[in-house]
Amino acid sequence: MALEDVYQRNLHHRTHRAGWLRAAVLGANDGLVSTASLMIGVAAAKTGEQGFLVTAGAAGIAAGAMSMAVGEYVSVRSQNDIEESDRLLEMEHLAIDPDGELEELIEIYVHRGLSRELATEVATTMHAKDPLEAHLRDELGQYPHTKARPVQAAIASACAFTLGGLIPFVGAFAPTAGKAAWSIIAFTVVGLVFTGVISAKTAGSKLLIPTLRVIAGGCLGMAITAGIGQILHVSGI
């Protein structure tokens, strides 16, 4: 089978999406829940102040998107640093003790089910071609298609957060401030359903459980902040 055919077949798997899918799903979910929770909390604490509610929502989206982008970049970049450190360490091991590294690779293949003779043949062939690549892949589990991509993750997270945050934000423009909280909740639940379905579809998993998990988490967040806002409003703080 040609390399191009192998590549096309691999595209049907979802592993190559790991570099950005987690960040995008987390960003969209965070955008929905944090923006909705913020606005519902404000609505519960400051009933009748619709202008303040809109301002709080817009500020929450902007601040959250930037925070998500920076947080994702730093987090994924740290993963890059770990991968690079392991790569340099493996290069050092190969330079100091190539025979020991070859034996290590043989043991890995034996553990995976190959006979000792076949494992030795495979490992020797791999070492003859590119020992570093073989060890990064089979010993450390580093693959090009699953490599952490900090810029991609940061952009996906910020964009997803903004799109997610705009859904409950629309609810703030209800005819009256008193209806805004319920409007925000309704828009957010719809957004959570879409987020759960899209993330499950993208990941190739079943729809029901991931979607229910997203909805339950989002509703819990909104309920807690609404309760806090109501307490602050009642106490007059």
Report the alpha-carbon distance of residue 214 to residue 120 in Å, rounded.
48
Whose tokens are 């913020």? That residue is 38
127 touches 98 (CB < 8 A): yes
pTM here is 0.65
Segment 77-123, tens digit of pLDDT: 887 888 888 888 888 888 898 888 888 888 888 988 888 899 899 88
Question: From CA 72, how far away is CA 85, in angstroms rounded?
Answer: 20
CA angle 211, 30, 34 (to 5 degrees): 115
Domain boundaries, given as residue ranges, for the chain: 19-41+50-231
Could you read off the pLDDT of 85-94 as tens digits, one per residue?
Answer: 888 888 888 8
Band of residue 170 on the pLDDT scale cut at 50, 70, 90: confident
**Which amino acid, one-letter code, is at 91?**
M
